[in-house]
A and B are shown apart, each in its own frame.
Chain A
Amino acid sequence: MSTVVSLDRISKAYEQKIAVKDLSLQIDEGSMFGLLGPNGSGKTSTIRMMIGITMPDSGAVSLFGKPFTRDSLKQVGYLPEERGLYKKMKVMDQLVFMGELRGLDPAVAGKRAHDWCERMQILEAIGKKTEELSKGMQQKIQFIATLLHDPELVIMDEPFSGLDPVNATLLQDTLIELRKAGKAILFSTHRMDQVEKLCDAICLIDRGHAVLQGGMREVKSRYERNHVVMNFEGDASFLQHPAIARYKNYAGQAEIELKPGANAQDLLREAIGKATITKFELMEPSLEEIFIRTVGEKVDA
């Protein structure tokens, strides 16, 4: 597996504010990478440096195993968080224009645009002006414009924001297919459930620093399985057991957080002695909890 993106200790400062500090990460081909972090933590700044919109003050960016050149951008598809289309242009003209800018022949661009519109179920919009289309349709066209030149690296900044569930699923499926085809995919999002489901690796940024990164399984295994969800009937006094750090009891369903190093089996034995247990599950922490624990409670994301 070869490395598609490699950032080596890149930094960027604006005025007094440090946007990104000594950040390093690798993205492999055929993998999906989640870039996480609260608002203003430096996600977009990192992405902009990755594709040469801004230059890092220090550190090195490599794409496809070579130091960054604008030439390699022909193999990159980028969907920014602040994205738009030319309002007065017809959908087809727009897609062909974007394709041509990425080095496609107009005829090839036209053919591919047609195929993509069919796949995204928006063929009827092809001759309309952008301003006549619904927001959801415009977003689909933005995705097509990002993917039209069959990029090896797909970068999407908050791709799911503002999408309805149907279109979000459509996009998610498309991303999975792209991964299967060997593309490297990077996306940033606030939606931890999606990251948990889709990503092979993550990097969590806070105030410009990478505070947590690695493969999804590996990151999660760093955290203890110290969460218990149980359903029970009868006496709830076992919840006073010394292994429990905190708990919430919702009339027969308890969510329990264990003390560090505590043994869940002891708790189970105590509980069986006092109540009827219908469910006892020892859970790994969700990515959301990891996120909050790492970044702190102040997250406004």
Chain B
Amino acid sequence: MRNILLIAKREYLEQVRGKAFKVTTILIPVIFAVVIAISVLAGKYSGSGKHLVVAANNVTLAEDVRAQLLNDKVADLKVDVIAPTADSDRQELVDEVSQKQIDGFLWLTQDAIGRTAAVYAGRSSGDFSTASRLDDAVDRAIVEQQLTLHRVTADDAANFTKGIKIKTRQVRDGKEVDSSTFGTFIAAYVMAFLLTFTVMMYGMNVGRSVIQEKTSRIFEVMLATVEPKEMLAGKLIGIGAVGLTQLAIWALAAAIFFSSALAATLMTDDFKVQISVPQIALFAVYFLLGYALYSTLFAGLAATCESEQELQQYAPLAAVPVWLSFSMITFIMSNPNSFWSVAVSLFPPCAPIAMFLRIASQFPPIWQIVLSLVLLLISVYFVIWFSSRIYRIGILMYGKRATLPEILRWLRYS
């Protein structure tokens, strides 16, 4: 035990004093802040400030659509109207778009019995936010038009079409409470990202550290006094402690930030971040188990490699579960209890990330959390069994990377 602690201490001090630790401690929160800020702002202001033309054969319809579009203050559109239209106008508008004088035009044709056809032509094909704004505007304009035709006054018609904004609330502990879906989503997103990031980063770190010991030929020197399992255990504990230190620094910084005056002005009702105590505790548990799973795996693989480059070839093993979890992020957030969400959150390599996303959107049944932790523990046990055998033999093999049949033979040795 004394040896394990000595090795852990050495590993911890070397990493904490290293440049990489300082850089990532500062840079990762900064990158997160920037990414979140950009995605929030981009979501809000995408498709804003555009110059559009509404062309219709019906003058009132064109004016109504324009009025609806101008109602949307966030969009900040500039809208011109051509009505009534001649066939030659369309080619002129196409020319204007291609000469970048306007961003796009909406071509409306209404026949005698009031059926309307609408076409939007713009420079970019995937401008979904503009398309949905136009959709809303045309729908409302036509409903208003129809209402006025049926002798409803213009004011009433405007009231009917105003639309209602839905306020989202969440049922928690049998009570209805205010919830800000957006803030919760962001918090969950950040925590899931952070979890992935740290688990992978420190998992790879263990692998790199093993490779460095192998290439610097320190192993045999060490093995004259300590056993391989002591070296492996010391390394895992030391680097895991570095990860926890970094998370603690971030948590402390976040706590200070959220209690500051600046945060109070940012945290409006729309953007309230809710992180509960069980969430923090589970974060720590999933970090430790996820870290144990990936770091032992990488320690075993690293022992079979000769250089860091060779180790990098195994990186996809870690990347695939991460991609899988993140590609399902919106699905999990909106369907936290569907079959696939549950399956992914129980599958050990994905469990830390996927389960965390589920916890954030809706607390899953306790048995599912317990089951995912048990499955994770079992797989950690198997990976340790596998890696410690490979490690014991691999660290003393120099020359070339071990092939799969060789690795299988190593497993049988011990």
Interface residues of A (CB under 8 A from B): 15, 48, 51, 53, 70, 73-74, 76-80, 82-89, 97-98, 100-102, 142, 145
Please determine whether A97 and B6 come into contact, CB atoms closer than 8 angstroms. yes
The 10 A-B pairs of least Cβ separation, nearest first, read: A84-B217, A78-B224, A80-B220, A84-B216, A82-B217, A84-B218, A101-B225, A53-B223, A100-B6, A102-B225
Please determine whether B218 and A86 come into contact, CB atoms closer than 8 angstroms. yes
Bound CA–CA A51/B221 (angstroms): 11
Bound CA–CA A88/B10 (angstroms): 11
Bound CA–CA A79/B224 (angstroms): 9
B101 contacts partner chain A, Cβ-Cβ < 8 Å:
no
Bound CA–CA A145/B221 (angstroms): 9
Q: Which residues of B contact A15 (CB under 8 A)?
A: 409
Q: Which residues of B contact A80 (CB under 8 A)?
A: 217, 220-221, 224
Name the one of A51, A53, A87, A100 contacting B396, with C-beta atoms under 8 angstroms.
A53
A275 to B: closest C-beta gap in Å = 56
Q: Which residues of A contact B14 (CB under 8 A)?
A: 86, 88-89
Please determine whether B220 and A73 come into contact, CB atoms closer than 8 angstroms. no
B398 contacts partner chain A, Cβ-Cβ < 8 Å:
yes
B369-413 interface bits toward A, Cβ cutoff 8 Å, 1 = contact, 0 = none: 000000000000000000000000000101000000000010000
Could you write out 13 A-B pairs with CB less than 8 Å apart? A53-B224, A70-B227, A78-B221, A79-B221, A86-B10, A87-B212, A88-B18, A89-B14, A97-B6, A98-B221, A101-B6, A101-B7, A101-B226
Considering only residues 10-52 of chain B, those with a C-beta below 8 Å from chain A are 10, 14, 18
Please determine whether B218 and A101 come into contact, CB atoms closer than 8 angstroms. no
- Greatest chain A CB density within 10 A among B218, B223, B226 is at B218
Residue of B nearest to A77 (CB): B224
- Greatest chain B CB density within 10 A among A73, A76, A86 is at A86
Known contacts A15-B409, A97-B10; is A82 also within 8 Å of B224 by CB?
no
Considering only residues 241-255 of chain B, those with a C-beta below 8 Å from chain A are none
- Greatest chain A CB density within 10 A among B6, B220, B396, B409 is at B220
Please determine whether A101 and B216 come into contact, CB atoms closer than 8 angstroms. no
- Greatest chain A CB density within 10 A among B3, B216, B396 is at B216
Residue of A nearest to B9 (CB): A97
Q: Which residues of A contact B222 (CB under 8 A)?
A: 101
Bound CA–CA A53/B96 (angstroms): 80
B409 to A: closest C-beta gap in Å = 7
A152 to B: closest C-beta gap in Å = 14
Name the one of A48, A85, A100 contacting B218, with C-beta atoms under 8 angstroms.
A85
Name the one of A48, A74, A88, A142 contacting B221, with C-beta atoms under 8 angstroms.
A142
